[in-house]
Amino acid sequence: MRCIVVLLALLSFFSNAATKESFIDKGQFKYVLYPGVDDSIVENINHQLTSKTPQLITDFKVKEMPAITVRIWKDRNQYLAYQKHLLGQSYPWSTGYISENEILLRDTGSQSTMDTAYHEYVHLVTTAINPNIINNPRWLWEAIACYEAEKEYGWRKPSTKEEFRQYAKILKEGNGWDSQGAVYRIGYSIGEFIQQSYGSDGLITLIQTNGDISKVTDKPLEQVFDEWIEFTENKYY
């Protein structure tokens, strides 16, 4: 009988150990690692965040950012279950999102996890400027994060001008909401165009006004859209 009790206790211990999260405090960033996530990922993500965020905060004229908790899952089902618990819905295609002062990631075992962490941090910085900017409008919200997260190594553009135009059409019709993820494919070029055309102050103004283009130019939105197409095609195609 005693052997059975001991065995059950051991099984309980190992079961808890297998499901218990671990915590790593890096000062500005606090990490919560769920089962299956290797501790080594923290150094990589933390380097990505701490090396880039000071300049980002300066460029966006944000006085300071609070400490951020970064939660990381290896198991996709656990990641999606937490997402559904938090948001009321899960998004199977997602690998990262934000909550208040939190970045939530699914470790895909590649460089993209580090890039996603910074992409999500850009989202947090834009919400420090305007708490109502989240997906409002979605094309701007994602375009800024795509541009800031990818500009270090450049845009991974669609392979042809025709493909780019197709994504642009989808983006225009759906305002950033579409099943093909057009905003993720061409959002970089939107952010770059805004930066080149209206500067950092114009970008900040668009964040503050939820994409009200009349605050940065007298041109109608349709004309600005056409100018973005022309700018992108001339530079990349």
- The full set of domain ranges for the chain reads 19-129, 137-237
Tell me which architecture the domain covering 19-129 has in CATH.
3-Layer(aba) Sandwich (3.40)
Please give the pLDDT value at position 179.
64
Please give the pLDDT value at position 14.
38
Residue 174 above 90 pLDDT? no
Please give the pLDDT value at position 218.
97
Q: Is the dihedral of CA 126, 67, 95, 159 positive or negative?
A: positive
Phi/psi of residue 101, nearest 5 degrees: 55, 30
Q: Residue type for 162, please?
A: E
Task: Using alpha carbons, list the distances in angstroms from residue 109 to 74, 114, 179, 222.
Answer: 9, 10, 25, 41
Q: Which of 60, 97, 103 is nearest to 208 (CA)?
A: 60
Q: Which long-range contacts link 196-202 to residues 24+ away (Cβ below 8 Å)?
A: 196/231, 197/227, 197/231, 200/59, 200/60
Using one digit for the tens of pLDDT, what is the confidence trace for 71-101?
999 999 999 999 999 999 999 999 999 999 9
